[in-house]
Structure 1
């Protein structure tokens, strides 16, 4: 086994990827990072074994100072006391990039006392632990060498003490019994075949730290073949963008699935684990596209999208599910742009499964979700009430039922964007001009009649909050509904109902208020 210490970052590496390259997961999961936190990397040193490696640190967008920063506190606070735990990446969970077995490791070495600072002596290296400088700690600090089925090996280096479990690493000592040099490092960190733990892709390995030959909290990874020659790493998923202090949400994001991370400094958004349901509310319009790309890259598809306006600013609510079909979606389109993408999607074999409208200072805007499947649909947008009634009667004649009935108030008039499907839902009712009290009564009466809410949107018309809702007999589900909720009230209900096994299907913001208010439907 050839074990090499971490080297400094250097010039860019570009390499054409082999057609049938093994794909690796990123060693992080997106759900462990907030929206304004991202992984950061740049090109690594050009050495025989590490030339295709990565040093992963983190960046947080500091809205107060309009910049991406590597620390989770103010720079003044960091400069006054530069500790490891003030780095954005510090203590983030690390996951296996590929299945394999642990052939080398160390787990309890103490961390370096602090990150390296500008002006530190390159001779005395005060940022390094004295025991490392004396040769008693491996170059990778707390680390794992994982050997894959093809004989290649991945190094995961510089983790926090004790975060690598004993089930993965049998070495419990803090230090080597004698300094490395006279005794090869491999003799201490190597794991006997009988003790080599088997790991699966995506398994938790440890946490990001600052141990061994490290200048600050980060994760070093590199892949090498059995001869110690570095190999390029192709990733299964992930999106990247060049850091830009004027772009708090990043972008343009580039998907690098099937290839290496783009060269040079990059912010990385690792995919999150796919769950049965993922919902967000009150997402700022300027943040929506980045989050959309992240979730699509992660393997989700969007099933609900609701735009709304609060004090002149647009926000989006959304629900995502595992992607199991071809799909596409568009948001915030003008009437002409909406019609263009709509026509193209139909020509490409897609059908609309959800439509939405919301008001802006430039007039109504439209959003739509398409799926690639055979389904009879009827969709219209920007209808007057009289036109809406005509389309509804046409849909009834065709045996269709309402899916979306989105209403905006524009120029003192209600304008309708509607979608109908030819799918059995039993008997159904639809109302689009309900007051809050009328909607509450409607929910109660419909429940008595054996119908449940399947669609909800809310808008302000002539100063009054109105609700548009569809109730249907099928599919039969246990359900809960709320309306007129503040963000905190909605979040509390979301959390409470989630613990009871409910998933949110619909979350709608009232379009045109000066405060956020939400209605929602949960089912199980």
Structure 2
């Protein structure tokens, strides 16, 4: 019995070995998209949520060249199995049955798009394994570690290259999943074909109401739509002499891109904008009918041309993709496509206009690529471009609904907020702001807070070693709200209070000034028939000073003249409403530097004055918007 127990496993072990185990005569090259700095790493793209409240996912867009090295026989790739070792993501096997001719003949190399269309949940697995199954031979496994690709712009993404559509949306008509025609060319690995759609009562349509087949280009919503630069960059190649096609008829000669621009937006990131409308690319951007080796600067939001139907295009759309260099072909040495992530947009998988949940926001901290069929509302707050490296940055008239986007962009450009004022303008709230170079100082800002929320922020930041450097109170839809800036920096002793009555404010003012503190900011709101005061003081010498918090609009110029005549200049200025009457709150000191003060300016007049004072080397130190006579006006100080 002992002998039989020993021999049974031995026989099983001997017979389990395949009689014809033979390594497949195959080589695998050009595994992409690979990190050029670490060729064992494969890039994946972050994909936008499907709707508000959904989470972003990630997708594998992998391809490779599989070559038959046998000089005597063909080789058939039968299956491709994708797995993520150590992950809960299940393996997936696809039948492909692709035959490669013997080495040396045409068709001996297969450009294999790895057939995995899944959009997976984060976290990202450490690696991917792709097992290639061959008829009559052992399988071959290709493994790579995985890393999420982040665009090389400061935010890690790009603006969508068009504005929001009135009454409609942009839509990703054809994307880059494994079945897309884009995936057959490696520089189009992450390409988008983008169209405009509008709801026709039963479905989203690319054509206008009443259009009948055969459609003309002008029947499509997309045709003739302005296209803008996604970011600053340099045009490297262009073409502008190809006609628009009749819809349904492709004209890939002389170039499949049709009228196009290649723009290098960041080192190693070149965007192709293709199929522009005939005649819409200017000589400034494209100096000849076809030109290469260009170095023409464009800035974010600059108009490029109109979407059209030129080149290898069957209907009006914008073809857009990102690659590591200029070029369009499927040869082994051509440009490699890279993920293109968007921000300053909202997106949702196609649904009815009233479907819930609604659109999800793509911000410059949540950039993502688009899903097939996804609807996009881009740049609803406009194309404001922040110029980096200045001594100051200022904005006015910003709708409060766009403030967070404005804040993110400006902070990302290296500025820190030093002043924020908000005023009601009819049904909208408008924000004016002043920024300075960050200069390495840690800082934080809050806005739209209730008194309790502001107090909690105040306590938290002060406990962490920050000091209050700006505070403003204002009414938003009839309720008192606070905005504040905290900076981690040294300075004189300081103190602050908020939301107190006139009597309490006066008592605190008297005691603090008697103790050597001087008011820096006194913001007032009028609510429920009474004034509420919010103030910040520093223990610092300013010379003689006067604080006036109830100056009528009509009296401000007189008060200003009186204070200047007495040797005092304004260092702080804010406004508020008592009913419909404008009141000014101002602080004047004799130790103030030479100051230029203006008020009663329209938006256009304020912008002109800002430009004039900036050109003279002065910095904006205070700005306040107020509604007077049905018009939003501005008062400001420069020194």
Given the two structures, how large is their TM-score scaled by the length of structure 1?
Answer: 0.69
Distance 1:475 1:437 in 2: 24
Matched, 1:105 2:238: yes
| 1:468-517 alpha-carbon deviations (Å, 9 max, x no partner) | 1122455534513114xxxxx51231243245244755443448x89455
Q: Which has the larger radius of gyration?
A: 2
Q: Report the counterpart of residue 493 of structure 1 in structure 2.
A: 605
Q: Report the counterpart of residue 348 of structure 1 in structure 2.
A: 464
Distance 2:359 2:607 in 1: 31
Give yes or no for contact 1:98–1:200 (8 Å, CA) kept in 2.
yes
Distance 1:520 1:34 in 2: 33
Distance 2:432 2:225 in 1: 30
Give yes or no for contact 1:155–1:221 (8 Å, CA) kept in 2.
yes
Match of 2:323 among 216, 223, 228: 223
Q: Report the counterpart of residue 482 of structure 1 in structure 2.
A: 599
Give how far 1:338 is off: 1.6
Give how far 1:382 is off: 1.0
* Partner SS for 2:255: coil
Change in Cα spacing, 1:301 to 1:414, as seen in structure 2 (3 Å) is same
1:122-521 pair list within 5 angstroms: 126-127=246-247, 133=251, 135-145=252-262, 154-161=271-278, 171-172=288-289, 191=292, 196-198=293-295, 202=299, 206-210=304-308, 211-214=310-313, 215-218=315-318, 220-223=320-323, 227-228=333-334, 230-233=336-339, 238-243=343-348, 253-256=361-364, 260-261=368-369, 263=371, 265=374, 266-269=376-379, 272-274=385-387, 276-281=392-397, 283=399, 285-293=400-408, 295-296=410-411, 300-309=415-424, 313=427, 315-321=429-435, 324=438, 325-359=441-475, 363-375=479-491, 376-397=493-514, 399-422=516-539, 425-461=542-578, 464-473=581-590, 476-483=593-600, 490-502=602-614, 505-510=621-626, 515-521=630-636
Q: Report the counterpart of residue 119 of structure 1 in structure 2.
A: none
Distance 2:195 2:590 in 1: 52
| 1:82-127 alpha-carbon deviations (Å, 9 max, x no partner) | 749975983333266666x83x532332345xxxxxxxxxxxxx32
Give the gaps of 5 or more residues in structure 1: 1-10, 113-125, 174-188, 484-488
* Partner SS for 1:92: strand
Normalized per residue, which structure has more strand? 2
Give yes or no for contact 1:208–1:218 (8 Å, CA) kept in 2.
no
Distance 1:395 1:161 in 2: 71
* Partner SS for 1:500: helix
Distance 1:397 1:491 in 2: 40
Change in Cα spacing, 1:390 to 1:213, as seen in structure 2 (3 Å) is farther
Give yes or no for contact 1:37–1:59 (8 Å, CA) kept in 2.
no
* Partner SS for 2:256: coil
| 1:258-295 alpha-carbon deviations (Å, 9 max, x no partner) | 96436463444477233643322273x55544554455
Give yes or no for contact 2:344–2:405 (8 Å, CA) kept in 1.
no
Higher relative contact order (CA 8 A, sep 6+): 1
Change in Cα spacing, 1:258 to 1:508, as seen in structure 2 (3 Å) is closer
| 1:56-105 alpha-carbon deviations (Å, 9 max, x no partner) | 66799x9xx9xxx999xx96699999749975983333266666x83x53
* Partner SS for 2:189: coil
* Partner SS for 2:504: helix
Give yes or no for contact 1:358–1:366 (8 Å, CA) kept in 2.
yes
Change in Cα spacing, 1:476 to 1:58, as seen in structure 2 (3 Å) is farther
1:20-31 pair list within 5 angstroms: 23-24=152-153
Distance 2:593 2:168 in 1: 41
Q: Report the counterpart of residue 184 of structure 1 in structure 2.
A: none
Change in Cα spacing, 1:517 to 1:97, as seen in structure 2 (3 Å) is closer
Change in Cα spacing, 1:171 to 1:490, as seen in structure 2 (3 Å) is closer
* Partner SS for 2:241: coil
| 1:220-256 alpha-carbon deviations (Å, 9 max, x no partner) | 1231577347433366x94443259679xx9763435
Change in Cα spacing, 1:331 to 1:172, as seen in structure 2 (3 Å) is same
Q: Which moved more, 1:405-414 or 1:500-509?
A: 500-509
Distance 1:464 1:96 in 2: 44
Change in Cα spacing, 1:476 to 1:199, as seen in structure 2 (3 Å) is same
Q: Report the counterpart of residue 94 of structure 1 in structure 2.
A: 229
Change in Cα spacing, 1:333 to 1:110, as seen in structure 2 (3 Å) is same
Q: Report the counterpart of residue 63 of structure 2 in structure 1.
A: none
* Partner SS for 2:605: helix
Q: Report the counterpart of residue 52 of structure 1 in structure 2.
A: 190
Give yes or no for contact 2:271–2:320 (8 Å, CA) kept in 1.
no
Give how far 1:392 is off: 2.5
Give the gaps of 5 or more residues in structure 2: 1-49, 51-56, 61-123, 125-145, 178-182, 326-331
Residue correspondences, number: 456
Distance 1:89 1:504 in 2: 41
Change in Cα spacing, 1:37 to 1:29, as seen in structure 2 (3 Å) is farther
Change in Cα spacing, 1:495 to 1:152, as seen in structure 2 (3 Å) is closer
Distance 1:320 1:27 in 2: 25
Q: Report the counterpart of residue 98 of structure 2 in structure 1.
A: none
